[in-house]
A = this chain, B = another copy of it.
């Protein structure tokens, strides 16, 4: 088995909390921005990061586990790239909750404006 390049994004739809947790780190957001511009290896990313390659590797694993990025082997390098579908879960969750809150807050506003008051 390959292992490295498989057991990651294939895990179906990840938990919203897990994805948010993966996004909840300054360095990982930086990595996502970087990979958004062009695919890169851990070593290459570490060159621009304020931490060691190993730290970057750990961050990449976290991002990979929740499906935000994918890895492919290219010769002796492992190149990571962004997965657009990975944004599905967090975007969906935020959409849903924004809609729910909006409905409720709207109802409050209407209840305050509509009925008699003075």
Docked complex Cα distance between A21 and B27 (Å): 12
Binding stretch for chain B, among A49-57, A71-79, A87-95: A87-95
Measured as residues with beta carbon below 8 angstroms from the partner, the interface class of chain A is: 20 to 34
- Kindly provide the distance from the CB of A52 to the nearest chain B CB, expressed in whole angstroms: 20
Q: Which residues of A are at the interface with B, using a C-beta cutoff of 8 A?
A: 15-26, 28-29, 32-33, 36-38, 82, 84, 87, 90-91, 93-94, 97-98, 100-102, 104-105
A-B contact pairs, 16 of them (CB 8 A): A15-B26, A17-B29, A19-B24, A20-B23, A21-B21, A21-B24, A23-B24, A36-B100, A82-B101, A82-B104, A84-B98, A84-B105, A87-B97, A90-B94, A91-B98, A94-B94
